[in-house]
Structure 1
Amino acid sequence: MATFDRRDLLKGAGAVALASGLGMPALAQAAGRVVVGTWGGDYARLLTKNIEDPFLKSKGMEVVQDQAGDAPRRAKMVAERRLPRGTVDIQGLSAANMFEMNEAGVIETIDYAKIPNAKNLIPAMKYPYGVGHIYSGNVVIYNPKVITAAPTGFKDWLDPKHGNKIGFIDIQYQSIMIAASLAGTNGASMNDLDKAKEVLMAVKKAGARVYPTNEAFAAAMKNEEIGISAIWKARVVQWQNAGIPCEAVAPVEGIPIYVSGFVIQKNAPNKDNAYAYMNAMLEKAAQEAFAVDMGYNGTVTGLNVAPDLQKRIGFTPEEEKKLRDLDYAFLAKNDSAMKEWWDKVFKA
């Protein structure tokens, strides 16, 4: 289990400054088309609002979103790899799924000389095969009206005593199993799937509920049908802004990080515009807007985020020491088995 290196996260842009003369920047052209694979919902809407409209469409680029869950989009990437030209230029994926698609051999090695704004990219968010866009940490979320004793971590969340007040979001199965592993091992491991299954089956028997989407879960939290779960801290901020009574707790067992980023398919029809999209997403104005609109931390240095907002979306110095990067190789190897168990055993 790797510990998230906060020193790397805070290094200045000088550590990643690109030597001049390595290649011409891929700036948005006055015409052209880029197809973006992404999740739907708020994220897709904010990509349009904060990146596509101000930095790409305003320069004449046509942007088409291919909206779907990450699993079908990853399957399509693999299915299309033998084609000379794929159907998508750039794909939005989690860091774990970026790793998995790199292992599958379907994505480009990033040429950072083609992304001028990469000079400001935090080193920890600069992958050989993808670029981090936003990040947050997995925290316990609870409604104080329903759960009167404040939890301290994942173990408190996954306590069968909460019965049907425990909620899960179906699409978050991977992060749920990581949290359950940490709960079952008192923070010793994120990869103990046997312990995770034991913990989860206990709360299933107690009546825990599974919701198909973030939105369905939020509605259940608002009407007090459920009272406790775990989610990215950014999502807690969004729901607080929407008037949902909920609080975030940094788990004592450790805080797994979540990175959302973008990769370029090897057979992308328009790689230049894919690079232009990456450059636009690293614009400081776009990054600052995502902090305000979505509660995620930006991946470039020098952002101007209001102190009160930074306090809500970020982490204290003590909490920063508990940030943990994920074991992407382990997740790539075990994701299919995790999903199968989740669908056929836990949800059955």
Structure 2
Amino acid sequence: MTAMTRRQMLAAMAASSAAATFGLPARAAGKSLVVPTLGGAWEQFWRTELAPAFTAKSGAAVTLDTGNGRVWSANLRAAGVAKPPYSFLMTNEAFANSLRKEGFFEKLDLSKLPNYADLYPLAKKTDGWGAIAMVSPIGLAYRTDMVKTPPKGWKDLWTNPEFKGRIGLYNFANTAGKMELMLFSKLFGKDQYDVDAGFKALEKLGPIIQADFNLSTGIASGEFVVAPFDFGEVARLRKQGLPIDVIIPEEGMLMFDQTLNILANAPEKELAYEYANFMLSPEAQALLMKQFYVSPTNSKVVVPADLKADVPISGAQMDNILTWDWDFMNSKQGELAEVWAKTVK
């Protein structure tokens, strides 16, 4: 996976030439950074926008490794802590938490990440071990043409009779499903750890429609009328003509996150820090916001007026996003998955 193809070699040579021609940093000329990225539209955006922008700044070529948190975690474990195939990893905190405990990451050298100082508190929740570079806040979406009384919060899933048997949820395999369980445990029990209360609440919901990655198809077809949705996906569905809206639940929002981590034995550690700082910069954050409607984690980024309808969560509203104890969830997820399968119909 780390061997360079002819195309990658040419890209590295081109980066070296660009460094010489335009006075880019000589330290990175001729080097290549392996950048794990999601597939589809994400890969395309990295290939056409973010990777060239980083190369222009650093002089280094970029080799994309398309996958997801499960794939990258498996690749790291197969290679071992001493010889990782990546220099950094950006993935869900649920995956990053486990890899961190296994010794793959180092505590961040903040002197090499000046943009870290400008992050919202939400993005610094890992005590200096990682930095959240992307946030997709999750609210409660509903079909405006099929719901007479819009929800105000998560508890309306239990109290609004219009929703009975017409609720969509992420299943437990998705990190959002695990967050749903911790949220319901907090709402109906003592705290996020009171999973017995969470499962009792799930049972009281009655039949629901579950999905691993894609709830959009179900709500578009009317299979269900209310479900947790990230604001960016609602913006995309709305632009496609679907009568849908999303609220900020009064009890707080969930989120899809992407945490940047530096490998302790990174093959290109200095370049990894440079890339991480680039991803946390207002420039890169603004590009991601405009393309994917994610909420910027750098507080210096101002959401322009023409994007506020699609990116409504920023500034002080970032404090309304809930965070969770992934140490607890990851240590219990096997047994909790079994209880979920028996409980959720």
Using structure 2 for the length normalisation, give the TM-score: 0.78
Match of 1:173 in 2: 177
Q: How many residues align?
A: 315
SS at match of 2:28: coil
The Cα shift of 1:305 comes to 2.1
Q: Distance in 1 between matches of 2:281 and 2:314?
A: 26
**Unaligned 5+ residue runs, structure 2?**
1-24
Q: 1:201 and 1:57, CA in 2 relative to 1: closer, same or farther beyond 3 A? A: farther
**Unaligned 5+ residue runs, structure 1?**
1-25
SS at match of 1:251: coil
Preserved CA contact (<8 Å) 1:28 1:277? no
Match of 1:345 in 2: 342
Q: Distance in 1 between matches of 2:338 and 2:201?
A: 17
Q: Work out the percentage of aligned pairs sharing the same amino acid.
A: 20
Which structure 2 residues correspond to residues 1-348 of structure 1 after superposition, within 5 A?
29-56=28-55, 60-82=59-81, 84-126=82-124, 127=126, 128-158=128-158, 161=161, 162-170=163-171, 171=174, 172-185=176-189, 189-203=191-205, 205-206=206-207, 208-214=208-214, 217-310=215-308, 312-315=310-313, 322-342=320-340, 344-345=341-342
Q: Distance in 2 between matches of 1:316 and 1:54?
A: 24
- Greater CA drift, 148-157 or 67-76: 67-76
The Cα shift of 1:141 comes to 0.9
Deviations 1:232-253 (CA, angstroms, capped at 9, x unpaired): 3333233333433221112222
Letter in 2 for 1:147: V
Q: 1:276 and 1:339, CA in 2 relative to 1: closer, same or farther beyond 3 A? A: farther
The Cα shift of 1:156 comes to 1.8
Deviations 1:118-166 (CA, angstroms, capped at 9, x unpaired): 3533454234211210224331111111222101211223569534421
The Cα shift of 1:337 comes to 3.4
Using structure 1 for the length normalisation, give the TM-score: 0.77
Q: 1:55 and 1:233, CA in 2 relative to 1: closer, same or farther beyond 3 A? A: same
Preserved CA contact (<8 Å) 1:218 1:244? no
Q: Distance in 2 between matches of 1:195 and 1:45?
A: 43
SS at match of 1:313: coil
SS at match of 2:327: helix
Q: Distance in 2 between matches of 1:219 and 1:38?
A: 24
Q: Distance in 1 between matches of 2:27 and 2:138?
A: 34
Q: 1:146 and 1:182, CA in 2 relative to 1: closer, same or farther beyond 3 A? A: farther
SS at match of 2:155: helix
Preserved CA contact (<8 Å) 1:158 1:200? no
